Amino acid sequence: MIRSRAQAPLSLPIETPRLVLREFRKSDVDAVHAYSALPEVARFMIWGPNSPAQSREAVEGFLEDQAARPRIFFDLAMTLKPKGQVIGGVGLHLLDRVNRTGDLGYVLHPDCWGYGLAEEAARALMEAGFVELGLHRIVASCDQRNRASARVMEKLGMRREGAFRQSRLIQGEWRDEYLYAILAEEFLD
């Protein structure tokens, strides 16, 4: 069974060798806008490029989700050690309580692309999802043209389980996507 945060809290912040994954704060709006406003970041996303108001609304939504009980959305700020600047976000959404399935997502400022930071953050959050939240399966999807995101999922040990035609409306265009997944026993082995 997926436990609610009130019953079995996710231990936050989560630290990795180079990152701290923590709850978003109201003061993170400018840092979130610094990447969410960029066309190269939003080109494969269902949102953006964001206006300042949209970035503020996104952070406000993260703050509301933090207070929800039971909590089903764990969107975390990805901060770079040692100074703690916000460079992106990583999230785990609890999709199916009965079947203990979570949906993983991540976004990163382009200045930080190519250093393995998305993989590092995602791996840490996946471990917390399997160990602390009791998930059985974690899924993730990406636009079929987003090879960098597909590579991250493959490095995480996820398997491509499906290809969906015109399944997402992104930037006014129907896009094909890949679905990846991994089971707790595969990840923790």
**φ/ψ bin of 84: left (φ > 0), alpha (ψ from -120 to 50), beta (otherwise):** left
Predicted pLDDT at 5: 35
Q: Torsions phi, psi of 175, nearest 5?
A: -120, 150
Question: What gap in Å lies between CA 133 and CA 68, rounded to an integer?
Answer: 16
Predicted pLDDT at 97: 84
Predicted pLDDT at 7: 44
Contacts of residue 36, Cβ cutoff 8 Å, sequence gap at least 6: 42, 47, 48, 49, 50, 54, 55, 58, 107
pTM as predicted:
0.93
Question: What gap in Å lies between CA 13 and CA 74, rounded to an integer?
Answer: 12
Q: Which CATH architecture has domain 14-188?
A: 3-Layer(aba) Sandwich (3.40)
pLDDT digits (tens, 9 = 90+) for 131-159: 999 999 999 999 999 999 999 999 999 99
3-class SS of residue 103: strand
Question: What gap in Å lies between CA 4 and CA 72, rounded to an integer?
Answer: 8
Smallest CA-to-CA distance from 44 within 186, 183, 169 is with 169
Place of tokens 């080109």: 43
pLDDT in tens, the chain (189 residues): 444 433 456 999 999 999 999 999 999 999 999 999 999 999 999 898 999 999 999 999 999 999 998 899 999 999 999 999 999 999 999 998 889 999 999 999 999 999 999 999 999 999 999 999 999 999 999 999 999 999 999 999 999 999 999 998 888 899 999 999 999 999 998
CA terminus-to-terminus distance, the chain? 20
Q: Within a 13 Å sphere around the CA of 144, how many CA atoms are in the beta-carbon half?
A: 14
